[in-house]
Amino acid sequence: MEHLSPRLFQQFSALVYEECGINLHDGKKSLLEARLAKRLRATGLPSPKAYYDYILSEEGRDEYIRFFDAVSTNLTYFFREPKHFEFLVGKALPEMVQRNEQRGTSRIRIWSAGCSTGEEPYTIAMSVLENLDHPNRWDFRILATDISTRVLQTAQRGVYDKSKLQNVPTALRQRYFTVRKENSGEKTYEVSPALKRVIAFRRLNLKDPYPFQGPFDVIFCRNVMIYFDKKTQEMLINKMCQYLVPGGYFFVGHSESLTGLDHPMRYIQPAVYQK
């Protein structure tokens, strides 16, 4: 594939920023070139310029979505950043149970924003179900969203390689996963129906209007803000906060911080905030 000219790189970068707020700075040029090379092979288009023109055309609308699938980076596994799940079951869950019992509601709602291939919402589901007294009494649901249709397909299927489950305790692995034998002879692990039934996977661009009302008791938005500039981060944090109950918790990635942003939450501990 021919190299991206500086002008065309800026055009792609502006398109990505305008559509979903992701900041493709100059250091991301080689990444964009690698992702474009795959899409050129898939579409048979001759050059990055031809591809750019195509995804902006009426006939290229489906490929337009595939392009954003390609440029979103996804690295995740079960129980990633485990201190968050310790806080969830040790602090946040007892508080939301007490709050909801006082209000006379059995409703528990958690949002996994930027859920990628599903490991995060499935981990949340395991954590809550394992630590909720009489879980059948509760109307517990998780909304899991991502901009990438590709990763959402993997999440909905719920089948993972063993490497993704390294942090899953043996008891939970036995309770919530079924071992499958693939045609290649390798073992994979399928998430149980008990987890799948409490999660709704939906495509969502965080910059778009949200097609739900909430509110959520907890929002996970981890390792998502690193792709946005400060202006977009502040806009999104305040927008998402509107869907968080008073006293609810907001989790960001451990490499992220809301320091320097104007928002209505207070710092609790690294990467954990409360409205």
Q: Which sequence positions are flagged as catalytic?
A: 35, 146
**CB proximity list for 14: less than 8 A, separation 6 or greater:** none
Report d(CA 269, CA 136) in Å as an integer: 31
**CB proximity list for 191: less than 8 A, separation 6 or greater:** 118, 122, 158, 159, 160, 176, 177
What does the DSSP 8-state code read for residue 254?
A: T
Q: Angle 271-274-275 (CA atoms, 0-180°, nearest 5)? A: 140
Q: Angle 110-73-163 (CA atoms, 0-180°, nearest 5)? A: 75
Residue 121, burial from CB neighbour count under 10 angstroms (0-12, 13-18, 19+): buried
Helical segments of 119-211, H only: 119-131, 149-157, 170-176, 193-196
CB of 265 closer than 8 Å to CB of 241: yes
Classified as helix, coil or strand, 142 is: strand
As a 3-state breakdown, the chain gives helix, strand, coil percent values, each rounded to 5, of 50, 20, 30
Residue among 132, 143, 112, 151 at smallest CA distance from 211: 143
Classified as helix, coil or strand, 177 is: strand
- Exposed e or buried b per residue across 168-188, where buried means at least 16 C-beta atoms within 10 angstroms of its C-beta: beeebeeebbeeeeeeeeeeb
